[in-house]
Amino acid sequence: MKDFKEIAIIGTTASGKTSLAIDIAQQTNSIILSLDSLAVFKQIDIASAKPTIEERAGIIHFGIDEVFPNEAFDVSHFLNLYKKAKDYAIKNEKNLIIVGGTGFYLKALVDGISYMPPVSSKVKKIVHKQLENLQDAYEFISNLDPEYMDNIASNDKYRIEKALNLYFTTNQIPSEYFKQNPKQALAVNLPIFEIIWDRDILKERIAKRTKIMINDGIIDEVIFLEKQYTREYPCMATIGIAETLDYLDGKLNKAQLEDQITLNTTRLAKSQRTFNNGQFSNIKQLPLEQIKEQIMAIF
C-alpha cells in the first residue's frame, strides 16, 4: 500500500479522543490501535471506558480485550500489537489511527526501547532473595554499574529489580547491555495530535463521565472482578477500580466514591498533560472542535 498513513490522537481522560478517532476512521478507511493500558483487559469495560461494540461502528480495533486481568501486559506487548495492527492495515489497504491516553506507550513507539530478554524462574528467585534487603540490593548493583544507577533512587524497587534481572540474565551490567542493544523506534516521524481543553471544562467532563460509570454499573463490575481475580493484579489498583474497592470495604459512601474517582481522574489528567508536553516534539495541540480539520488534512 503505497499511500499508507498513520497518525496518533492523544489527550487526557474524557477529552473525546475515542469518538473522534472512530469518526475519522470511518471517513479515512482506517483501523484503530487503542493506546490504553486498561482497555487491553477483557471484562474491564466500565472502569476502562472502552468503546462498546456498537460505538466502534464496525471499525477494526486492536488493543482492546487482548488479555485477561490476571495476564501480563506491558509496553513490549503494546509494541508487538502495533506491529500486528500495522501489518493488518497494510495488507488490507487501510490506514492506522493510534488513539488513547497512555503516553508512555506512545513514547516507546516513537523513541524506541531496547530489547529486554525474558527472565527465567531461576533468575527471579535470585533477584527476589536479593530484594529482601533493598538497600543491600541497591548497593550491590550500584557498585557494579555506578553509571547506570546514578539516576535511580535507593528506594526505587521496580527499577532496581529491573537492573538486577538484566544483570543476572545476561551477565552484563545494564549500561553495557544497553550500549550493545540500542533503542529502535518503530514509528519514526509519526504525526501526533493532542486534544486540549480548558481545565475547568475538562473537570466537568470528567465528573460527567464518572457519574455515567457509576450509573452503568462499575460497582457490580468490580465485585465480579474481585471475585474472579482477587485484588493482587496491578489492574485492580487503577483509578475507578481502587476507589470502588474502598467503597466495598466501607471506607467511602456512594457520594464519596463519585467524588474520589473524579478527583483522582482529574489528577491523572494533569499528569497526562505534563507528560505529553515534555515528551513529544512532533505534536499539534488543538481544541476538539479544531483538531479534526488538521487531522483530515493528513489523509
**Computed from CA positions of residues 98, 102, 105, 110, in that sequence, does the dihedral angle turn out positive or negative?**
positive
Q: Percent of the chain at pLDDT above 90?
A: 89
Lay out the sheet containing 61-62: strands in order across: 61-62, 30-35, 95-100, 6-11, 192-196, 283-287
Instruction: Check whether 1 has a pLDDT greater than 60.
Output: no
CA Rg, the chain, in Å?
Answer: 21
The gap between the terminal CA atoms of the chain, to the nearest Å, is: 14
pLDDT of residue 72: 87
pLDDT of residue 2: 63
pLDDT value at residue 281: 81
The chain-wide mean pLDDT, for the chain, equals: 95
Q: What are phi and psi of 47, to 5 degrees?
A: -65, -30
Please report the DSSP string for 34-96 in residue order. Answer: EE-TTTTBTT--TTTTPPPTTTTTT--EESSS-B-TTS---HHHHHHHHHHHHHHHHHTT-EE
- Structural domains of the chain ordered from first start: 6-112+185-298 (3.40.50.300), 121-180 (1.10.20)
Whether the Cβ atoms of residue 181 and residue 162 lie closer than 8 Å to each other: no
pLDDT at 51 over 90: yes
Provide the pLDDT confidence category of residue 234 given band limits of 50, 70 and 90.
very high
The tally of CA atoms less than 13 A away on the side-chain side of residue 216 is 17
Answer yes or no: is pLDDT of 6 > 90: yes
Amino acid at 298: I
Q: And the C-alpha cell for 274?
A: 505534563
